[in-house]
Amino acid sequence: MALMLDTSAYSAFMKGHADVKLALQKAEEIVLNPVILGELKAGFRAGNRLRKNENELQIFFSSPRLRFVDITQETAERYAVIVHFLRKAGTPIPTNDIWIAASAMEHGLRVLTTDLHYQKVPQIVVEHYPA
């Protein structure tokens, strides 16, 4: 099973969230995209532990199960489908999370998250664990 790791799930993992930790241990592959990486790095800069967080992230990156995927034209097509659906349903979610969902949709990945709003996106499979 391959998982796209949402930013919230990474944070929960780093805080020792048992369910998220177990889900990551079971995953055959953990996938990130540039949106997730950007959110993490922005969060690090907003806090007071930039160096420590960056070092922990580098350790996380050393996992042989970790893979990065790019945002592509296909991702953009899937983004448009999701945005259109959410607008028609009147259930918007944060823009970055739509990009993450579109990337997961493109690559056939489950989204591991602590954010409930991903469940508004029927085009993806969500593995949700409350924070």
Q: Tell me: the pLDDT tens digits for 51-74?
A: 999 999 999 999 999 999 999 999
pLDDT at position 105, please?
97
Query: How confident is the prediction for the chain on average, in pLDDT?
Result: 97
pLDDT at position 64, please?
97
- What mean pLDDT is predicted for residues 48-52? 96
CATH number, residue 6: 3.40.50.1010
Q: How far is CA 48 from the centre of its chain?
A: 23
Quote the Cα angle for 19-6-86, to 5°.
115
> Which backbone phi and psi does 32 adopt, to 5 degrees?
-125, 155
Quote the Cα angle for 107-60-105, to 5°.
15
Burial category of 10 from C-beta neighbours within 10 Å (exposed 0-12, middle 13-18, buried 19 and up): buried
pLDDT at position 1, please?
87
- What mean pLDDT is predicted for residues 15-23? 97
CA distance 31 to 29: 6
Question: What residues make up the domain containing 88?
Answer: 2-128
Instruction: Count up the domains in the chain and report the number.
Output: 1
CA distance 61 to 131: 23
Would you mind telling me the total number of residues written for the chain in this entry? 131
- What mean pLDDT is predicted for residues 81-85? 98
Residue 131, pLDDT > 90, answer no
The pTM of the full predicted model, rounded to 2 decimals, is 0.95
Q: How far is CA 66 from the centre of its chain?
A: 13
